[in-house]
Structure 1
Amino acid sequence: MIELEKLNRNEAVRYLGGAGIRLNYRMDVLMDECEKAVLEKASPKYLYVEKDLPCPQIMGGKDIESHLNGCEKAIVMCATVGSEVDKLIRISQISDMARAVVMDSLASVAVEQVCNAFDKIIAEKYSDYNMTFRFSPGYGDYPIELQKIILQMLDAPKKIGLCTNDNFLLTPTKSVTAVLGLSKNPIERKKRGCAICNMRETCKFRRKGLHCGV
């Protein structure tokens, strides 16, 4: 079980900077209020399954082949902070867009922290393996359609209410699907970045000469 006690404020501020929002006293108070609301409504959940490689179900494109090169196993996972956080954001969008933007940034931080906690759980369970970083559908040429296959593999709609819409986007939105590779041998430390990101052409950070930190 993963619990969120606080959210990484520095990460949230970086997201806000990418959206062109500057911090001041009022914004700091608003972040306190929004962090409290997100933590109250967040319901972190995750699922995963271990797969021996090769596993045709999770393959598609050259980037995932490269990512899993040399690995004997893969961990197929999903995580979410739940639908109540989505509701919070939607309500704020109707009444107060500044609050909605702050809420959204903190919710993004929340799901990333859940994923980071999951990484630690897997690293401890498979301590005799070397582990790659999470690689999600939509990165590079890894088809976003794989979202649906991963969720079906994990029975996520039934178990934790995590689904995709007709465009293969996750609902609740503050959710993640990904594949991690496990190898008995040392793994080349590849960097995540703009080159493999499916948002690289429209990224708000790149337009400002920044990056999201991934």
Structure 2
Amino acid sequence: MNIKIDKNEVLRYLGYKNQEYSHELDLIIDEVREEIKDISNYKYIYKIVELKRDENGLAYIDDGILPLLGENIQKHLANADSCVIMAATLGFDVEKRLNYYSKVDLTKNFILDSCGTQMIEEVCDGIEEEVKIKLGEGYYYTFRYSPGYGDYPLSVQNQLVRYLDGYRKIGLTVTDSHLLLPRKSVTAIMGIQKIPFVSEFDRCAACLAREYCKFRKEGTRCYSKKD
């Protein structure tokens, strides 16, 4: 997987919108981009599983071992015959460096955090491409849907990581408040279907960070592309 860290995306996560920024900041961003490449040990795991339906047409996985709770995730997978369940992480060295910079250099802390966000999204994009190559033509895909979106409970993180054996295979853990550790990690479900995917789901309105999101206040979004 060829992971690139787009400087423009890093700047966007930092809150820059075509503004001028100093040569010094430019050098620090380049330095941190190289740093995270050196210290990250990204790992990922995924399963492609069949979706079954109950008598009401609601989707479920492996007799309900991994819950698909909530109206939003059911709508998201309404036309899917199967799905990809994925988890990815940049590893604990990035987590340790974030903690270190939070104490000694807040500028580098913010930049490393933004680089990490961009990098883990690139890893997830790479998983999508790997799946699409593996399955070949004739399929359509939903966007990635994570616990905490809409009414899909964040508490599902525990079952999802357990379902993938995420702790043993990629070192992914879940806190008591259902957050992933290392922080620069993602879990998600992506539907696979035979007809084009059309979504009315508002990802921003459903986000847990919507009330204090700087991107939303500026009329933009935190994700770089429409899936």
Q: TM-score, normalised by structure 2?
A: 0.87
Unaligned runs of 5+ in 1: none
1:81 to 74, 90, 94: 90
Unaligned runs of 5+ in 2: 53-59
1:166 — aligned with what? 176
CA distance in structure 2 between the partners assigned to 1:18 and 1:196 by the alignment: 24
Are the aligned partners of 2:215 and 2:221 in contact in 1 as well (CA < 8 Å)?
yes
Percent identical residues: 35
1:25 — aligned with what? 23
Q: Following TM superposition, where does structure 1 have runs of at least 4 consecutive aligned residues deviating by more than 4 angstroms?
A: 189-192
SS in 2 for 1:72: strand
Give yes or no for the alignment of 1:117 onto 2:126. yes
SS in 1 for 2:85: strand
CA distance in structure 2 between the partners assigned to 1:122 and 1:180 by the alignment: 10
Are the aligned partners of 1:68 and 1:181 in contact in 2 as well (CA < 8 Å)?
yes
Give yes or no for the alignment of 1:102 onto 2:102. no
SS in 1 for 2:212: coil
Give yes or no for the alignment of 1:59 onto 2:68. yes
Give yes or no for the alignment of 1:137 onto 2:147. yes
1:16 — aligned with what? 14
Amino acid at match of 1:101: F
**Structure 1 residues 190 and 120, CA gap change in structure 2 (3 angstroms):** farther
CA distance in structure 2 between the partners assigned to 1:123 and 1:189 by the alignment: 20
2:187 — aligned with what? 177
Are the aligned partners of 1:18 and 1:204 in contact in 2 as well (CA < 8 Å)?
no
Aligned length: 211
Deviates more, 1:23-32 or 1:124-133: 124-133
RMSD: 1.9
Are the aligned partners of 1:3 and 1:44 in contact in 2 as well (CA < 8 Å)?
no
Q: TM-score, normalised by structure 1?
A: 0.92
Are the aligned partners of 1:18 and 1:210 in contact in 2 as well (CA < 8 Å)?
no
